[in-house]
Amino acid sequence: MTIRSFAKVNIYLKIIGIKNDYHLINSRFMLVKNLFDTISFTKKQTKDEKFEIVGNFSCKIEENIIYKAYLELLGLKEYSQKIQNFFKYYKVEVEKNIPEFAGLGGGSSNAAFFLHLTNSVLSLDLSQKTLLGLSCRLGADVSFFISSYKSATVEGIGDEVKKFDEDLLDLETFTPKIKCKTPIIYKEYRKKLNTNYDKIIKNNKLLSSKIKSLKSDEIMDNFKIEELNDLYEPAVLLYPGLKDCKEDGYFFSGSGSSFFRRKDG
């Protein structure tokens, strides 16, 4: 009972508005086929009422997004007893390979693939619509991973996911030892928006409309890192060491700190 929990990169990430204090995005998400955690359900030595997660995490179990996904499942009253009974006898083991605080969606991926694995192993037959409903309450990137798309256009606050038809690129990632905190990077970008909101958003929308129909390799061939990811510059302002990590041909994923490029690039 094991599933791979893949990383993602943002080929591009443009902020195209603000709604109810949330940043609205237009982005291309792509799975990284050679970077993944593994999630397994393994037998406990003895029956235990406590939900158990084993893995190299830097947070308490109550803060772990897998635990939060478990609580969302328990909110489905018709399945809650079955789910609780199963996890009295089984624990969740996660082998972590995706760096944390890196813009690669590791936590969101773990939550989504935990939901997929639970749905499969326990034969819950939860619909995609139900799983997407759960994902929206867990985090901005979870919906992409729930979709099972390899490449997708992601909009709204990350909850609007539309399949993009293209082959997966062979990507390599580089993650410096810098832990980027997403909220403060968005806060820094908001300062820029406050200088000339209408003009910046208009330009972002224009560029988004120009590149959203292009395949990912075309985007990477024709645009620069600063053009493609609106969070790169505020991230560098807050974490100056990122600038020293930038190399030609690399792009920036999410709010960082990871860079990526095509292996053949």
Return the active site residues: 8, 141
Q: What is the DSSP letter of 59?
A: S
Cβ-based neighbour number of residue 74 at 10 Å: 15
What is the β-pairing status of strands 251-252 and 53-54? unpaired
What is the β-pairing status of strands 53-54 and 90-95? parallel
Q: How far apart are CA 94 and CA 78, in angstroms?
A: 27
Cα-to-chain-centroid distance, residue 117: 18
Concatenated DSSP letters for 184-253? HHHHHHHHHHHHSHHHHHHHHHHHHHHHTTS-HHHHHHH--HHHHBTTHHHHHHH-THHHHH--TT-EE-
Q: How far apart are CA 16 and CA 114, in angstroms?
A: 31
Helix (H, G, I), strand (E, B) or coil at 66: helix
Q: Are 85 and 93 in contact (CB under 8 A)?
A: no
Specify burial of residue 195 (Cβ count, 10 A radius: 0-12, 13-18, 19+).
exposed
